[in-house]
Chain A
Amino acid sequence: MSRLSLDFQRHRLDNGLKVVLAPDRTVPVVATNLWYGVGSRNEPAGRTGFAHLFEHMMFQGSAHVPKNRHFELIERVGGTLNATTWFDRTNYFETVPSHELELTLWLESDRMGWMLPAMDQAKLDNQRDVVKNEKLQRYDNQPYGDWSERLQRLVYPEDHPYHHTVIGSMADIDAATLDDVASFFRTFYRPNNAVLTIAGDVDPVAALEQVKRYFGDIEPGAPIPPVPGNPELPPLIGETRRDHVVSDVPLPRVIMGFRTPSYASDEFAVAEVARSLLGMGRASRLYRRLVRERRVAKSVVTYVYPLLSGAGLFLVWGTGYPGSDPAVLEEAISEELAALGRAEQHEIDRAIALIETDLVRSLERVAERADLLSMFDLYFDDPGRLNHEVDRLRSVALDRVRSFATDRLGEDNRAVVIYQPEKDR
């Protein structure tokens, strides 16, 4: 049934590093991609935002690579690079012309094995300033910029690892020390807590040899400590929790969050289908009803966070028109969520057709392929899941989507953050 049959092979080095090789020699481009099993959920109390700050420090050089050299070398060969930090993981990636693969292996292995000798206070202070400016630019100086912080506080209990945001707090970022950098590195940045994927124009035999040469002598670390706090939580929030914000925003906005089964659960597929059916594309229920027919929303967004610890997060948000009442918008969204209980099979088919096109389109890029293979290997020990993604969603039965509305999207499992413009008050 599946249109996807992406070729790949798996290996594991003696130090525990997982390796996925996915050759496709049609274009002379190769992607190197590393996922480390550490994210904001692993941050100890008083160090929110540290996993992300640490990600910045990974670009400040290593024993054999001076500051800025990593960027210079990759850009010099016409490559691109970046890294991102999220709740459950941190990823690092380069895409380069394929004859420069070895350069990426050298750079990634040097910081995996020998980052600490290059660390100093000046670099930490500099990147602390950069990260604080990032927080200002992306959150604090933005209309609605604190929405995720507010929503997570309502959806997850205080002792839960998803209670705080990935960017963290200014005070915690200020408190970070070089000792924190060292201990975080030794605890989490170990080969036995990582997946290395190489996708694209690569000879698997030669590449595996190179991987062994560069990464093979990096010492493994102790087993990864359990996630701090209490990841276990009731499946439902138990009530409707609210946060009504009157602030300097241009338009009213209603943001709803719901606990969902974790990404590791079979039921997550139901949430993915429901999310697409509700808000993906212009024939989706929310767009059709709220944006096009009733015009109570200027735009709608739905998303489901693929999270591993205890519960994922199902997100619905609608932005209203100038002067409109957010309570009316909230009521309209609630009606459509309840109406999901009367969904039809053709709506599932439409949603899956869109997901399939988007997936195939994303796989045109070796960087995307590598990223998905790393994720599936790190999270599920199964990179081959990529080839079955569409089938997994297609197997979701209509009655499960319908009951999702009552089981998960009801008033007993709801967090609502409402933004109301100061001027409309």
Chain B
Amino acid sequence: MSGVDRGAVPSSGTLRSFDFPTVERRKLPSGLDLRVALMNRLPMVSLNLFMRGGEAALGEHRAGLAVLTADALEGGTGKRSGSELAEELERIGARVSADGGWEGTSVALSCLADRLPRAMELLSEMLLEPSFPEEEVTRAREQQLASIRQRAMDPASLASDVALASYYAEGVPYGRPVDGTVVSIGEMSRASMVGYVEANYRPGEGGLVVVGDVEPAEVEQLVTSHLGRWLGAPASRVDFDVKPATRERRVRIVHRPGAVQSEIRVGHVGTARSTPDYYPLSIANMVLGGMFTSRLNLNLREENGFTYGVRSRFTFRSRPGPFQVSTAAGNEVTAPAVREIMHELVRMADEGPTGEEVAAARDYAAGVFGLQLETAGQIAARVSQLVVFGLPDDHFDRYRDAVRSVTTAEAAAAAARHIRPEEVQIVVVGDADVIGDPIRKLEMGTVEILGV
């Protein structure tokens, strides 16, 4: 039919550049940092409110309180019960969620644009007048306790929780599960939640991001009329040093008798979002385990068939979050999978990525960035990152250039600094009777077997 040359990769068409949407930023008299971006492909709007504080600012005895409070926030207001509030929101098709996390609490709303005024009215009622009825406090607490039990019996969650506890020194918040412990949650009452909201749900630190088919002036007017009387700054401060549990490489096997597969985590304390190595380190990690054609995935999956998938990740937070390789492998290939992970970590730390690999990762990162600017929710989430980490307003305007300017030497130096194979903690959740000896033979360090 055509005479198309199938042997040659088609050449690219003409690149259409696309800019990050313009964000209008205003500081409202209440202290609220309001950021609005117009996106009118579809009649949608997404709103993200971030209030700083969160789990990292809580002591161990209060672990999980930020998560729990956010969960119970939809339990009712001075004017209506939780079910009535849900009914009012859902009858206009509005989706609302509140999530407590390490950095703070995020409240998100998405709805059709013409329903924003009503949704804002309900959202502000929920935020400013939560009533925390006792039965809702109980519900949220029982749900969270049950979730903690579920995590302990889910091999993947269990592996991640044990790994984090192995990376961080005792007392460092990042070493515990974000939603707290049976002990801390069991102690929480209505008064703890009311106190948490009173002290921390404040407009002074954080910000409100609104993206969609909206006029910035109208949004400002809406926000002022509903949240204008909301004042103050959060009381909690993040105040802790991040120390590793050890600098010595260790292996922990969590024994699950009869397990047919092993969940594997290999990692250590990583680095903070503010690291000057952010771009080169992100590129080095992509080469290691951050894309499908990464070294780890091509080795463990496409070459050896040890696993369905493997990835590595630096979790960037205000303080150093974890660096971790995660995968799951069949019993007989668990030890070989650990061996290959270590091989790739050593190779990356010692030699760094090649020029060709860096070029591929740069192109991927810069290209994928443009793919994720389609929806109001995606833009709102991005702008919220500026709020959370205090990044400059033009951060995303410069993002692609910053990624493209990473050199091979910079990526290699960042990998050598931040990936330390001799310090990793290796955590495997699986049948120790089957996988124990092969793992010991790898001689990766002392092997400890933990019961469930």
Q: Is the CB of A26 within 8 A of B86?
A: no
Contact A110 to B149, CB < 8 A, known contacts A79-B371, A129-B305: no
Query: Within residues 91 to 109 of chain A, which ones have a CB less than 8 A from any CB in chain B?
Result: 95-103, 105-106
Q: Is the CB of B139 within 8 A of A99?
A: no
User: Which residues of chain A are within 8 angstroms of B112 by Cβ–Cβ distance?
Assistant: 3, 356-357, 360
Q: Is the CB of B261 within 8 A of A288?
A: no
Q: Is the CB of A364 within 8 A of B94?
A: no
A393 at the interface (CB under 8 A from B): no
Q: Is the CB of B308 within 8 A of A130?
A: yes
CB distance from B1 to the nearest CB of A (A): 4
How many of B's residues come within 8 Å of A, CB to CB?
83
B240 at the interface (CB under 8 A from A): no
Q: For chains A and B in complex, what number of residue pairs have CB atoms within 8 angstroms?
A: 234
User: Which residues of chain B are within 8 angstroms of A125 by Cβ–Cβ distance?
Assistant: 305
Complex: A214 Cα to B308 Cα, angstroms = 32
User: Which residues of chain A are within 8 angstroms of B371 by Cβ–Cβ distance?
Assistant: 29, 78-80, 95-97
Complex: A353 Cα to B6 Cα, angstroms = 48
Q: Is the CB of A322 within 8 A of B370?
A: no
Picked from A96, A114, A201, A353, the residue with its CB within 8 Å of the CB of B93 is A353
Q: Is the CB of A291 within 8 A of B15?
A: no
Q: Is the CB of B9 within 8 A of A106?
A: yes
How many of A's residues come within 8 Å of B, CB to CB?
87
Complex: A217 Cα to B308 Cα, angstroms = 35
Contact A101 to B13, CB < 8 A, known contacts A78-B363, A360-B112: yes
Complex: A140 Cα to B110 Cα, angstroms = 37
Q: Is the CB of A77 within 8 A of B363?
A: yes
Q: Is the CB of A99 within 8 A of B154?
A: no
A157 at the interface (CB under 8 A from B): no
B260 at the interface (CB under 8 A from A): yes
Complex: A131 Cα to B139 Cα, angstroms = 40
Contact A295 to B261, CB < 8 A, known contacts A28-B370, A132-B330, A133-B307: no
Picked from A80, A99, A101, A360, the residue with its CB within 8 Å of the CB of B44 is A360
Picked from B42, B145, B301, B307, the residue with its CB within 8 Å of the CB of A360 is B42
A213 at the interface (CB under 8 A from B): yes
Q: Is the CB of A27 within 8 A of B41?
A: yes
- Chain A 223-259 near chain B by CB (<8 Å), digits 1 or 0: 0000000000000000000000000111100000000
**Chain A at the B interface: SS class:** helix
Complex: A311 Cα to B173 Cα, angstroms = 51
Query: Within residues 268 to 321 of chain A, which ones have a CB less than 8 A from any CB in chain B?
Result: 281-283, 287-288, 291-293, 295, 298-299, 319, 321
Q: Is the CB of A350 within 8 A of B301?
A: no
Complex: A21 Cα to B390 Cα, angstroms = 42
Complex: A105 Cα to B6 Cα, angstroms = 11
- Chain A 1-23 near chain B by CB (<8 Å), digits 1 or 0: 00100000000000000000000
Q: Which chain B residues have a beta carbon within 8 Å of chain A's beta carbons? A: 1-2, 4, 6-7, 9-18, 41-44, 74, 82-83, 86-87, 89-95, 110-112, 135-136, 138-139, 142-143, 145-147, 149-150, 152-155, 259-261, 263, 291-293, 298, 301-308, 328-330, 360, 363-371, 373-377
A-B contact pairs, 20 of them (CB 8 A): A3-B112, A28-B15, A63-B6, A75-B293, A76-B364, A77-B12, A78-B371, A79-B367, A79-B371, A128-B305, A143-B153, A216-B2, A217-B2, A282-B82, A282-B90, A292-B136, A350-B87, A360-B43, A361-B110, A364-B41
Cβ-closest 10 pairs across A and B: A78-B367, A129-B305, A357-B93, A353-B93, A99-B13, A364-B375, A28-B16, A283-B86, A282-B86, A134-B308
Q: Which chain A residues have a beta carbon within 8 Å of chain B's beta carbons? A: 3, 24, 26-29, 63-64, 67-68, 71-73, 75-80, 95-103, 105-106, 110, 114, 125-134, 136-138, 140-143, 201, 212-214, 216-217, 248-251, 281-283, 287-288, 291-293, 295, 298-299, 319, 321-322, 346, 349-350, 353-354, 356-358, 360-361, 363-366
